[in-house]
Amino acid sequence: MGHKPIVIATACIGISLCGTSPAWAQEAATAEPAAQAGTRVADATANDRAPIDTGDIIVTAQRRSERLVDVPISIAAIDGAQSRNLGAESSRDISQLVPGVVIPSQGVAVQPAIRGITSQGSSAGDEPNVATYIDDFYLASAYESTIDLADVERIEVLKGPQGTLFGRNATGGAIKIITRTPQFTPEANFTASYGFDFKEIKLGGFVTGPVSDSIAASLAVNHSSNEGYVYNLQSRHNVASRDTVSVRGRLLIDITPRLRTIITGNFAKGNDNAVFALVPIDGNNTNYANPTLVKPNNPKEMAGVDPVLFFHVYGAQANTTLDLDAIEIRSITGYRDSNAKDAFDTDRTILKNTSSFSNISTEQFSQELTASTTGDGVVSGTAGVYYSDTDATYISTGFNGDLRFDPGSMSMPVGTIRTSLYSNVVTTSLAGFGEVTFKVTDALKLVGGLRYTSEKKVFNLRDIVRAAGLRQIVDEGKRWNSLTYRAIAQYQFNPDFNIYASVNTGFKSGVFASLTFPTNVVDPEKITAYEIGTKAKLGSFNLSAAAFYYDYRDIQVQASDLVNGVKIIANFNAAKANVKGLDFSASGPILPGLNINLGVGWLPTAKYTSFPGSQVSIPLASGFGNLVVSPYDSSGSRMIRAPRLTANFGATAKHDFAGGTLLASGNVAYNSGYYFQPANLGFQKSYTIVNASLGWRTADEVLTASVFAENMFDARYAVYRAFGTIGTSQAYNRPRLIGIRLQTAFK
């Protein structure tokens, strides 16, 4: 979309905010929280105890409650309510608020990228290398990493490898999502919104209060539906539609004054098929040159069988804290069961050539136990053990001809079976870790940490080609062990200004690539990150800057390959890559009633320094699909999903008006573009996303009415780009949505 919308959008936001300027001086004592990280966190303690209301930003990025300015890590802290006001509705939208973050997909699998570190694998047991946590529970499945932010208290994005405290699969960083904690003070919030452009309805509610003197409960229920924003030329239906519901219930139990547990149960289900509303691009899809075919030619059209993606998620979790004065013991026990079923037309035309059906399920259990010192002594630390067991299954069936099925039951489609593949991976991981902080002087602090992980994967593959009557079986197992560490030196000039230097390591688990047969074993990828940075707090205004260098080795890259003349999708270990860049962020009040947040991520270097064995897909002839798999030396080419420049600017303001309060907010996010394939192929052009809202709140703060615009300038970019024998196609982001929102709050 280029730079022009940034100028226009910034001007629009500025005009809307300038209208509030006369009352800023009157708001000095009650300034609204900042748009991004300059927020007061209502309940951000590591053990979810009494709220901290110091005016500082409190985070738990190091497994303990600390001011953001004191944490020697590149971290963005986002208040949940403010993120929603700025147009971020799900965890996919975090990239609009945090520079250096891109969140694309590989089919159903969500694959975040932080500073160019990302994953391409989507087979069973292949977990993302940016770890996602919800209430400190690690989500192993890439197929359920999109989380509605409706009842989220805050989000913490940790940049760089987090291999010591967070373990495996955090080579790029970690995304921590913290939901709202039950309160002993009764509270209820309800929200309803309607988007006019594709008739989107959102309903949500959150209720909390005491059950007894020692028990508090909360319940969050959310529903979202729309009629879709892509028109199917074959079925004459709108697709890229959504109909989902989620429920989260929590109990906070003060068993004794020293022992507290929070029990959480959650459930979500629905149909969200936007990622499979695939539109042919580049004019090289199968039969696309056929003049007799009705063909899609813009982001709002597709052709083929209506795609579906049904999913459900069940989860239960217990976070328990025991306070022993000098030591705090924490236990995190969790179970999660998720399933996704998808079906779509694979040739992307109205011809009934080929189609696909997949069934993906993950069952996960984990237990973590930690002990941490409390207080602010000369020596402090954390030690713990972690165990997890994950059972992941991927079933994929390809059909010749039409794909017809009962969407309600997802029964086996009618048609000639072309391929059928069943794969299962059971992953058992055990880790021990510890970290110590030593205050050399009042100003100088040294941190050192180690983590040892032992992980075993047992792999089972059944490749059944029913039409040919062939059956092939693979049963394998492998164990990987890894030692990761981090070391930090931090010097504090005063309580609100410090500098730090760090070295961190991380690794992503080895995998069995199982999307096609034959399969191959891919060893773990490893990373060493060096970073220097500074953090400062000027009153209530927060500043941070960091420079970093990554040595990235044995990168797991997914590509097409030819095996015995048959094209397969396989994973490989690329040799290595280097990443260099800078981060800068600023947030806080600049005038009474006006808060801003600004972030810039610059990645001048993100290249494969040695990748001689890459495989790329190149069109054979325009209009006829048949992408040719070609070996290519990608050494020196830019890494995938690594934009050179990302930036965001957000603002919130309030002003007394008509007996209530006028509220305005806006956010501009810019991405300079990135590649989807090695060898600098498949480029996503630059784009800018602009969100804004304007509302009015009653004096008693019970009712708020607002109008909002998401993606105001209708920027379109690919959330998923598919390369295959049928050609190239992609699913687009959501188009512009203008709507109204009503919110009620009772305390």
**DSSP string for 92-137:** GGGGGTSTTEE--EETTEE--EETTB-----STT---SEEEEETTE
CB 390 within 8 A of CB 408: no
CA 622/CA 284 separation, integer angstroms: 4
Per-residue pLDDT at 234 exceeds 70 = yes
Digit-coded pLDDT (tens) for 520-548: 788 899 999 999 999 999 988 999 999 99
For residue 175, give the nearest of 269, 83, 47, 241 by alpha carbon: 83
Q: What is the pLDDT of residue 52?
A: 37
| Structural tokens at position 311 | 């999913």
For residue 337, give the nearest of 389, 396, 407, 412 by alpha carbon: 389
Give the contacts of 593 (CB within 8 A, at least 6 positions apart): 20, 23, 24, 26, 27, 31, 32, 653, 654, 655
More confident residue, 65 or 241: 241
Phi, psi of 310 (to 5 degrees): -95, 140
- Burial class of residue 3 (count of CB atoms within 10 Å of its CB; 0-12, 13-18, 19+): exposed
| Structural tokens at position 410 | 């997802």
Binning pLDDT at 50, 70 and 90, where does residue 517 land? Answer: low
Cα diameter, the chain: 79
More confident residue, 338 or 284: 338
Q: What average pLDDT does the structure give for the chain? A: 84
How open is the CA angle 713-717-720, to the nearest 5 degrees? 150
Give the helix ranges, DSSP H, for 274-338.
none
727-742: average pLDDT? 92
Domains of the chain, by residue range, sit at 4-402+410-746
90, 122, 603, 631: CA torsion to nearest 10: -150
132-157: average pLDDT? 84
Binning pLDDT at 50, 70 and 90, where does residue 464 land? Answer: low
For residue 309, give the nearest of 257, 282, 272 by alpha carbon: 272
Give the contacts of 481 (CB within 8 A, at least 6 positions apart): 452, 453, 454, 455
CA 741/CA 665 separation, integer angstroms: 14
Task: Kindly report which listed range (58-72, 337-351, 357-371, 704-718) carries the lowest average pLDDT score.
Answer: 337-351
Amino acid at the residue 737: L
Phi, psi of 69 (to 5 degrees): -65, -20
Q: What is the pLDDT of residue 14?
A: 43
Binning pLDDT at 50, 70 and 90, where does residue 467 land? Answer: very low
More confident residue, 525 or 123: 525
Other Cβ atoms closer than 10 A to 29: 6
Binning pLDDT at 50, 70 and 90, where does residue 732 land? Answer: very high
696-709: average pLDDT? 97
Q: What is the pLDDT of residue 170?
A: 85
CB 611 within 8 A of CB 49: no
CB 636 within 8 A of CB 614: no
Task: Kindly report which listed range (29-33, 106-110, 222-226, 343-347) carries the lowest average pLDDT score.
Answer: 29-33
Binning pLDDT at 50, 70 and 90, where does residue 470 land? Answer: low
Q: How far apart are the first and last CA of the chain?
A: 44
> What stretch of H or E contains 16?
helix 4-18
Digit-coded pLDDT (tens) for 333-352: 999 999 999 888 777 777 66
Per-residue pLDDT at 245 exceeds 60 = yes
Digit-coded pLDDT (tens) for 403-447: 544 444 444 455 556 567 888 999 999 999 999 999 999 999 999
Amino acid at the residue 355: S
CA 583/CA 534 separation, integer angstroms: 11
C-alpha separations of 711 from 391, 498, 732, 735 in Å: 38, 37, 13, 7
Amino acid at the residue 610: S
Q: What is the pLDDT of residue 11?
A: 41
Amino acid at the residue 389: D
CB 184 within 8 A of CB 215: no
CA 149/CA 97 separation, integer angstroms: 13
- Look up the pTM and report it: 0.88
Give the contacts of 151 (CB within 8 A, at least 6 positions apart): 80, 179, 180, 204, 206, 220, 222, 248
Give the contacts of 441 (CB within 8 A, at least 6 positions apart): none
Q: What is the pLDDT of residue 18?
A: 41
The 8-class DSSP code of residue 280 comes to E
135-158: average pLDDT? 83
Phi, psi of 276 (to 5 degrees): -105, 10
Binning pLDDT at 50, 70 and 90, where does residue 42 land? Answer: very low
Class of domain 4-402+410-746: mainly beta
464 DSSP β-pair partners: 471
The 8-class DSSP code of residue 638 comes to B
Per-residue pLDDT at 215 exceeds 50 = yes
Most confident of 163-177, 519-533, 634-648: 634-648
Q: What is the pLDDT of residue 49?
A: 37
For residue 7, give the nearest of 737, 736, 647, 603 by alpha carbon: 647
59 DSSP β-pair partners: 66
Task: Kindly report which listed range (131-145, 179-193, 465-479, 489-503) carries the lowest average pLDDT score.
Answer: 465-479
CA 388/CA 368 separation, integer angstroms: 9
